[in-house]
């Protein structure tokens, strides 16, 4: 089946701070791959590298065997038509109905007649269980419903690759359960490749085929969810099970307290 996304020996700095230090990973086609790690480890930055919003300082970023940093603006635009990104906030247009939000990309990027746009939008809203909410405004939606509308919009152009940026953040347990079920079902039914960036461990592990865990600019573990649960690495265990004590320190690096307070 091959890989959809490949990062080879990628290093990246932002404002002088090392975000990634020679990391490599492979995201297979047709699977759900999760990128996990504590907040601030560069998970969202990774999506920026894949989509070409950011360029690595060194190393390769390949999507469908194309070197993303080397693409022309037009070629990158064409590649992005086959990608989709579900933003953490949902990012719905507040002055458009649910229907118009989902239809927006079809009107911008295709010449389809209106009756076909209508049918496609209704089908995608049906996929996320919200066909009856087409005429509602975003302000009338719950947080979970808004995230599902954003998901319908993200698959309207039939992408090959869909990326989820913290999809479970701010969701109640029922909404989380619905999103977990949708992500897995859509990946299978639409033959997608899914990349899930999250720090919600249990939800991500429950639907992933493969997992990478990032920390301090490195991949500290990778494998199936079952393999990660059995991994005895102390930093991995601290993250997976939410342990307060371990390699990840409570204190941000600083001078000794006595030098600043009692001096």
Tens-place pLDDT, residues 122-179: 999 998 989 999 999 999 998 889 989 999 999 999 999 999 998 888 788 888 888 8
Segments in 15-131 forming alpha helices (H): 43-50, 73-80, 98-109, 114-127
173 exposed, middle or buried (CB, 10 Å; 0-12, 13-18, 19+)?
Answer: exposed
- Residue 231, pLDDT > 90, answer no
Phi, psi values for residue 115, rounded to 5°? -65, -30
Contacts of 236 (CB under 8 A, 6+ apart): 213, 220, 221, 228
- CB–CB of 102/136 below 8 Å? no
> For residues 36 and 219, what is the distance between their CA atoms, to the nearest angstrom?
10
Q: pLDDT digit string (tens) for 34-60?
A: 998 877 788 889 999 999 999 999 999
The domains of the chain, with CATH numbers, are: 1-82+159-232 (3.40.50.300)
- The pTM assigned to this predicted structure is 0.81
| E-only strand ranges, the chain | 3-14, 17-28, 32-36, 58-63, 66-67, 83-86, 161-165, 193-198, 210-215, 218-223
Cα 96 from Cα 196, distance rounded (Å): 27
In what order do the strands lie in the sheet containing 58-63?
17-28, 3-14, 58-63, 66-67
């Amino acid at each position: 089946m091959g890989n959809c996304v490949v990062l080879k020996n990628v290093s990246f700095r932002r404002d002088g701070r090392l975000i990634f230090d020679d990391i490599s990973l492979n995201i297979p086609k047709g699977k759900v791959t999760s990128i996990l790690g504590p907040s601030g480890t560069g998970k969202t930055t990774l999506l920026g590298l894949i989509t070409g919003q950011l360029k690595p300082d060194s190393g390769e970023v390949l999507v469908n065997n194309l070197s993303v940093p080397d693409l022309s603006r037009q070629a990158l635009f064409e590649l992005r038509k086959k990608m989709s990104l579900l933003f953490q906030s949902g990012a719905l247009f507040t002055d458009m109905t649910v229907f118009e939000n989902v239809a927006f990309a079809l009107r911008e990027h295709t010449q389809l007649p209106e009756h076909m746009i209508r049918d496609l939008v209704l089908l995608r809203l049906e996929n996320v269980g919200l066909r009856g909410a087409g005429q509602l405004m975003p302000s009338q939606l719950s947080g979970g419903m808004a995230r599902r509308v954003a998901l319908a919009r993200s698959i309207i152009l039939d992408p090959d690759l869909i990326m989820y940026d913290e999809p479970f953040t701010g969701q109640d347990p029922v909404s989380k359960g619905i999103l977990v079920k949708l992500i897995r079902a859509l990946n299978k039914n639409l033959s997608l490749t899914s990349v899930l960036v999250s720090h919600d461990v249990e939800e991500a592990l429950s639907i992933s085929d493969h997992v990478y865990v990032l920390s301090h600019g490195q991949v500290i573990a990778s494998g199936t969810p079952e393999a990660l649960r059995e991994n005895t690495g102390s930093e991995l265990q601290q993250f997976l099970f939410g342990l307060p004590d371990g390699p990840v320190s409570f204190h941000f690096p600083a001078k000794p307290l006595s030098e600043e307070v009692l001096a």
